[in-house]
Amino acid sequence: MKKLIPVILTGLFAMSMNVHAIADDAKQDAKAVKERAEGDYKAAKAKIKGEHEASEAECKKLDGDAKKACNKDADAKEKMAKADAEAAYKKSKAEASAMK
C-alpha cells in the first residue's frame, strides 16, 4: 500500500499538469481567434469604405432624382455591409470568449 500511494500521487500530478497545459492551449487559441476576428473586421471596414467611395463617385456622374436614388442606395448598401461585418465580428469575439 505504501508503494501504491506515490504512484497514485504521481499519476494525479501528471493529470493536473496535462489539464493546465490544455487550458493554456485553449487560451492561446481563443486569443488567436480574437486577433483574427479583429483583423477581419478592420479589413471588412476598409473594403466597405472603398466600395462606398466608388459608389459615390459613380453617383456624382448622375443628375437629379437619379443621383439622389443612387446616393441613397449606396448609403443603404454601406449600412448593411457594416451591420454584417459587425455581427460577424461580435460572433467571433463571443466564440473566442467561450473558448477560454
Instruction: Report the alpha-carbon distance of residue 54 to residue 68 in Å, rounded.
Output: 16
pLDDT tier, 89 (very low <50, low <70, confident <90, very high otherwise):
very high
Instruction: Summarize pLDDT for 12-68 with one digit per residue, the tens.
Output: 555 555 544 444 555 667 788 888 999 999 999 999 999 999 999 999 999 999 999
- Cα separation values, 67 from 19, 48, 52, 57, 72, Å: 62, 20, 14, 11, 9
Length of the chain as a residue count? 100
Q: Is the pTM of this model over 0.75?
A: no
- The whole-number pLDDT of residue 64 equals 95
Q: Please give the span between the terminal C-alpha atoms of the chain, in angstroms, as a whole number.
A: 40
- Residue 74 CB coordination number (10 Å): 19
